[in-house]
Structure 1
Amino acid sequence: MTHATLSRTHDQRLRAMYRSAGWPCLDAIEIDLLAAGLLERVCHPAGPENLRVTDAGLQHLSTTLNRNRAALDAHEALVERVCEEQSRNGRIAYRGLTLLAKPDVSWLHLRPDVFSICNTTVEDYVEPIVFEVKVKRADLKADLKKAEKRAGYLAMSSQCYYVLAEGVGDADDVPPECGVMIASGDSIRMLRVAPKRPMKIGFGSWMALAKADRYRSLVDPAPLL
């Protein structure tokens, strides 16, 4: 097995081996890592055999960590762009906000990438919107399998959008109950408008908003007309 064909599960096991005493699991994942030269067996004359991450394994871990950091940086940069655009549109945006939603019979703790509301004193005009940001296709596909999470986002918002980095996906990938935006260059364009539903924010969500720090734009938003 080559390094290019190793999965995330292989990477997770390799990191676990690096942090542990290296006790073998004797499974297929371990065989792949040994065959790729990322792990090696260490025999002790007076004790059991254990495993050690090789120099090649350390290099693979470093490459994986740098790739993950780059993806995280790209994700946070796009979250920032969505917040900035919401602010320019006269809305109040929050990121990293944990909210409660009850799409069915049980409550869910959800953390949308961006949550925004209209800057208004009239409750009926608040129009909360959830934005889920994806910069990797694998993350988009994994997220789309979480129907309960998506139902929770719909239960807490008047509209729910997926904001996708260019090349990650298109409107056909996302269920019709959600809107789709594509981020490319310096612009975020609307690919499909999300269905809008009447929505009032519950008391618990108002308390969470009151305790949270809103996004502060570095550029003053244009005055509302």
Structure 2
Amino acid sequence: MSDPGLPPLSRQHDRRLRQMYRSAGWPCQDTVEIELLAAGLLERRLEPSGREYLRVTDLGIARLAQALDRNRAALDAHEALVLRVAEEAQRAGRIAYRGLGLLAKPGERWLQLRPDVYSIRNTSVEDYLEPVVHEIKVRRADLLSDLKKPDKRAGYLALAGECYYVLQQGIAEPEEIPPECGVMIASASRIEVARLAPKRPMKPGFATWMVLAKAAPCRQPLEPEPRL
């Protein structure tokens, strides 16, 4: 798509290209814009008044379409793994929820968090609930961004007695994950525990119970029909 002599384009370039597509085309006159112009993804235009503006070229539109396809594929892979983790939790006798909006206060301020999977044991004894958070990552860039958010991890640990990162096989090593969290590795056929999470006694707080009371747990996975 671009000359081999030009610098490689990154997600930052894709974001700027998308912003330019949605905007009136006012130039920013920075290095990202220069590289997009040099790659032929943007072009300079003049209005009758003489004002210069930028327009996304057909080549730029093709680049945006490719980025959209990549994002959709990553989202599909993420959602598929979230579903697998929820089903594994259910098979282990737990009640699992996906995408809950939960409040936590690990420090001085409240945080609005949305764990990929939150589960509790299916029990009538509060002390045995053992809430667990699973955070699913299928792309290394997403994982590295998440690891820069210690407040988020602290919030998860304020909500659950255990917190696991579930990693798509190949995107990271268990040693890269902070020690306060466990690690699971997901391959095409199975999800394996690479490192157990430290286990702490924990009971869901009132705010969490209010969210659970309004939420629907994941549907039980369908078991395969017995072979005759």
Note whether the superposition's TM-score is higher than 0.5: yes
The reply on whether 1:191 has 2:194 as its aligned counterpart is yes
2:137 equivalent among 134, 138, 158: 134
- Render the CA deviation track for 1:69-99: whole Å, top value 9, x for unaligned: 0000000000000001011111000001011
Q: Could you tell me how far apart the structure 1 residues matched to 2:140 and 2:23 are?
A: 32
For residues 54-203 of structure 1, what are the structure 2 equivalents within 5 Å?
54-203=57-206
Q: Could you tell me how far apart the structure 2 residues matched to 1:51 and 1:151 are?
A: 44
RMSD between superposed Cα atoms in Å: 1.5
Q: Could you tell me how far apart the structure 1 residues matched to 2:199 and 2:42 are?
A: 53
Q: Could you tell me how far apart the structure 1 residues matched to 2:209 and 2:49 are?
A: 64
Amino acid at match of 1:123: E
Q: Could you tell me how far apart the structure 2 residues matched to 1:30 and 1:197 are?
A: 50
SS in 1 for 2:130: coil
Q: Return 5+ residue gaps in structure 2 as ranges.
A: none
Q: Return 5+ residue gaps in structure 1 as ranges.
A: none
Q: Could you tell me how far apart the structure 2 residues matched to 1:11 and 1:97 are?
A: 30
SS in 1 for 2:59: helix
TM-score, normalised via structure 2 length: 0.93
- Render the CA deviation track for 1:101-148: whole Å, top value 9, x for unaligned: 111111111000000000011110000000000000111111011001
Residues 71, 111 of structure 1: CA spacing in aligned structure 2 closer, same or farther, 3 A cutoff?
same
Amino acid at match of 2:170: G
Give the match for residue 7 of structure 1.
Answer: 10
TM-score, normalised via structure 1 length: 0.95
Q: How many residues align?
A: 221
Percent of pairs identical after alignment? 64
Q: Could you tell me how far apart the structure 2 residues matched to 1:46 and 1:111 are?
A: 49
Whether the aligned pair in 2 keeps the contact of 1:170 and 1:180 (CA below 8 Å) is no
Q: Could you tell me how far apart the structure 2 residues matched to 1:218 and 1:118 are?
A: 16
